[in-house]
Amino acid sequence: MADDSEAPPAPPCTLVIFGVMGDLARRLLVAPALYNLAAEKLLPEKFAVVGIARAAADTDSFRRDAREGLREFAPAASANETWRWVEQRLHYLRGDFDAPETYEALAKWLAKRGASDGVHNVVFYLATPPDLFGPIITRLGQAGLTREGETFWRRVIIEKPFGTDLKSALALNREVLSVLNESQTYRIDHYLGKETVQNIMVLRFANAIFEPIWNRDHIDHVQITVAETVGVERRGKFYDATGALIDMVPTHLFQLLTLIAMEPPTSLDADAMRYEKVKVLNAVQRASADSVVRGQYDAGKVKGRAVEAYKRSPDVAPTSRTETYVALKLLIDSWRWAGVPFYLRTGKSLAARRTEIAVQFKRAPLALFKDSGIDHMRSNVLSLCLQPCETASLRFSAKVPGPSMRIEPVEMTFDYRDHFNAAPKTGYETLIYDCMNGDATLFRRADEIEAGWRIVQSLLDAWRDQKSEPAAYHAGSAGPQEADALLARDGRQWRAIA
């Protein structure tokens, strides 16, 4: 993590993107992420991108395509001088990911560059379907491209999902670490690059008022919500084989969970942070089948737009049982959290887009107000909205003006964007920059991934055995009723998402 806005440019390097014609690279990596980094002068003068894909294209058409992408996916940016700076550094190499010739051609390209301007540092970014991560790393190793020298480094960024279950994640870690050192391995979760997610750490540990009450004595429960309005869109093939649990929970939701629940690390050092996060995951109790709800959206309307049922989406089986929504209750076995439920939910085609963490405190006793006709007081809630708004709000009770004693909940809100006047970013900017600087704090270590999988594996097993249908919910709603029942059983309710 760069620690001030005057951060220097990253060291000279080449960024090799495997799968450069895919959705991720087109929508997020080249524009806006590289554009934003260039605009902030965080890319080195000696910088180049080599995009690799199977598609018949060349450097000229790749640059034209990238310019189109800029218009489409970063409308606030323009094909200005900054973009021209990026564009002239883009190169295309056509090749099959499983053909040794591709790696020979890449090795030649990198050697030529090394000879002409002395740049040997390389970040390999695997923006490909997950089943190619292992084979590409093996090929890179065989071609000698992951070997580091006294004066240069080689690093690999691996996208998510990392494995499709515990067994495959363990196997992938073995395969990766037979070629790379852990210190060369950057397993990405773009949530960790979001400013608002990093701000959770600052909020908790740079303010003295929260830590003393951040425990089971004062906190009633925590709700973590990642609600999306988008449906499965054009990702049917990937999504139908993946589902909401694997797509979102061991990655994005567990990152939010661990940042809220971890003990203060001893430093901002990558290992100190990751050690504390793994401890949280290891302390999560195995969830029973009745503390999990799966849902799948039916036809409906999202923000006035008609949405077809998930089962009718392109590349989705008409009889699919894949969940597009999941809600779960987790308990953490630790002195700090014993007995405090963490309710997590995420879903597609919901009523609103909202990523939020809400920490609900225990109610104040009514003692003082018992004879004043007040029979109920709302709890304090600290809510952190990470997107689309970027706010921290505290709900507390206030007296309604007038002669009688009436109490109402009010909110005090801090708006990150208004205050710092910061342009929204994708999260990838920070992570690419950190990797170029060798800072792995915001990346996931092998044991963290494995601990996450251990929690969800039992649920996957149970679902596979039960072969039950997910609960239906209408597109544009807040999710299935069964998810409401999950909290109602505990005398609680979800916060509104819209």
Give Cβ neighbours of residue 184 (< 8 Å, ≥ 6 apart): 146, 148, 153, 154, 155, 156
Check: CB of residue 297 under 8 Å from CB of residue 227: no
C-alpha triplet 209, 213, 215: angle, nearest 5°: 145
- Which residue matches tokens 């998402």? 497
Burial category of 124 from C-beta neighbours within 10 Å (exposed 0-12, middle 13-18, buried 19 and up) = buried
The contact mask relative to ligand BG6 for 322-361 (x = CB under 6 A, - = no) is ---------------------------------x------
Which is closer to ligand BG6, CB of 111 or CB of 230? Answer: 230
Q: Which of 467, 478, 427 is nearest to 189 (CA)?
A: 427
Residue among 44 and 424 whose Cβ is closer to ligand BG6: 424
Total residues interacting with ligand BG6, rule: CB under 6 A? 5
Residue numbers annotated as active site: 252
DSSP tag of 185: E
Q: Nearer to ligand BG6 by C-beta: 26 or 91? A: 26
Angle 395-398-400 (CA atoms, 0-180°, nearest 5)?
Answer: 135
Q: How far is the CB of 248 from ligand BG6 (least distance, A)?
A: 6
Per CB under 6 A, does 390 bind ligand BG6? no
Q: List Cβ neighbours of 435 (8 Å cut-off, separation of 6 or more).
A: 123, 155, 157, 186, 443
Closest approach of ligand BG6 to the CB of residue 438, in Å = 24
Token code pair at residue 248: 């979102």
Contact partners, residue 167, CB within 8 Å, separation at least 6? none
In the complex, the smallest distance separating the C-beta of residue 239 from ligand BG6, rounded to whole angstroms, is 7
* C-alpha span between 225 and 239 (Å, rounded): 20
CB of residue 323 vs ligand BG6: minimum separation in angstroms?
A: 12
Query: d(Cα 90, Cα 57) in Å, to the nearest integer?
Result: 13
Is there binding between residue 159 and ligand BG6 (CB under 6 A)?
no
Tokens of 148: 């580091």
In the complex with ligand BG6, the residue whose CB is nearer, 222 or 227, is: 227
- C-beta of 417 vs 492, nearer to ligand BG6: 417
Residue whose beta carbon is closest to ligand BG6: 247
Alpha helices in 353-404 (DSSP H): none
**What is the spatial distance between Cα 155 and Cα 121, in angstroms, rounded to a whole number?**
8
Calculate Rg over the CA atoms of the chain. Answer: 24
Q: Which two tokens stand for residue 438?
A: 């060798």
Between residues 141 and 347, which has the closer beta carbon with respect to ligand BG6?
347
* Identity of the residue, 194 or 474, whose beta carbon is nearer to ligand BG6 in the bound complex: 194
* Rounded Cα–Cα distance for residues 475 and 200 (Å): 31
The dihedral built from the CA positions of residue 328, 254, 320 and 325, taken in this order, carries a sign that is: positive
Neighbouring residues of 161: CB distance < 8 A, sequence distance ≥ 6: 130, 242, 246, 247, 250, 251
Calculate helix-pair angle for 100-117, 133-142, nearest 10 degrees: 60
Closest distance of CB 346 from ligand BG6, Å = 9
Give the per-residue contact string, 173-212, with ligand BG6 (x = CB under 6 A; - = no): ----------------------------------------
Least CB distance to ligand BG6 at residue 228 (A): 5
Single residue of 65, 220, 247, 439 touching ligand BG6 by CB under 6 A: 247
Residue type, 201: M
Nearer to ligand BG6, 121 or 324 (CB): 324
Nearer to ligand BG6, 37 or 110 (CB): 37
The reply to whether 228 sits near ligand BG6 by the rule CB under 6 A is yes
Contact 146, 137 (CB under 8 A): yes
Residues binding ligand BG6 (CB under 6 A): 160, 228, 230, 247, 355
